[in-house]
Amino acid sequence: MKPIKLSSWKINLPVFPPAEVMDNSTLSEYARCPRRGLYRYGMRRGFTGTNFPIQFGLGYHKYRELIEEMMVEQDCGLTDEIHDKALEAACKGFIQPPPEHRHAHNDVARLILSCMAARDKVIREREQGKIVVTKTEDSFDLELPFVLCSNCGSSYLDKEAGDDCTKCTTKLVRARHGGRVDQFIRFVSLQDGEFVRDFKTTGLMGKTYDLRFEPNGQMQGYHWSKEELSGKKCSGVLIETLYNTKTKGPEIHQTYKSFSPGQQEQWLASYMMERQIIQLMWSRVEELGYLAFPQRTQACNDFGGCGYREACLSSGGFEIEQWLSNYTNEDEWDFTNPDGETE
């Protein structure tokens, strides 16, 4: 077999190695497919056009976010004025999917119905007085109990930031976990139990839907961040899912998940090892270029087909970069502003 011609796989487009802080979206994308993680987060290449399910979910999240903010600011319940303002913001700039599109039901009419269903639920919650929202749409950037070497990728639990890496003497940096939670809530009926509430939207609600949240890196990260930020025990995560299909919906489903200390230790160890693997890949980028980031072909059919598939069928770095330049655009991910809003 001929040796690999490494010069053919050199990366010439701008790259952005991971910072000390990383959120679950970035971590899980690299874990699911390192090459896709490189394209999306390491090279900041996204797609033009409208992703209709994501647009729908962002609109719904915007509504939930704004009604809570305005109720807190005005110290009142969910009035018609608050509902109307939040609904207007949720629908602003909404692009209707074409009638023939497989997500044509995710249109503005269904978004309005979904927001009205959420309004009715919030009003019932307020009347019952069982749930108190203590914080909404809160970003965090928290230190993790391990350090990393940015050169060779090694990780350590028994060293501090500024210590030398045992393998290459590079100064170690403290790893950090970032994210943004939808709500922190308190259940009055459960001895003031502290919870995180996360809003989801889906068109797939089978018998096994709830199983995807246990174990779940995103939810366990929220659980951990709640305890770190408040200094109090987190009782669990409430996942509130808006369900819509062509013939059903809107329906709002709830599921509770709590995580034991052992589960959280496994989450933290997995997080550390995934970060180490990511750092290791980046430490080889000068030598291997694109080849430093393996293709996980089982991810090629995620969500109806990976958008970067054609790039991965290229025969070298030049072809990859031609494709990326033609079919993607610069798109920096900011976990503190996942909606991409500007002031």
Classify the C-alpha dihedral 67-68-74-80 as positive or negative. positive
Residue 339 has pLDDT above 90, yes or no: no
pLDDT digits (tens, 9 = 90+) for 193-241: 899 999 999 998 888 999 999 999 999 999 999 999 999 999 999 999 9
DSSP 211: G
Residues 6+ apart with CB under 8 A from 161: 147, 172, 173, 174
Q: What is the mean pLDDT of residues 91-105?
A: 95
CA torsion angle for 280, 286, 287, 289 (degrees, to 10)?
A: 90
- The pLDDT assigned to 342 comes to 42
Whole-angstrom distance, CA of residue 167 vs CA of residue 152: 8
> Are the C-beta atoms of 69 and 328 separated by less than 8 Å?
no
pTM: 0.93
Residue 281 has pLDDT above 50, yes or no: yes
- The pLDDT assigned to 2 comes to 82
Alpha helices in the chain (DSSP H): 24-32, 34-37, 52-74, 80-91, 108-128, 217-230, 261-283, 285-288, 309-312, 317-327
- The pLDDT assigned to 67 comes to 97
Average pLDDT, the chain: 93
Q: What is the mean pLDDT of residues 260-286?
A: 96
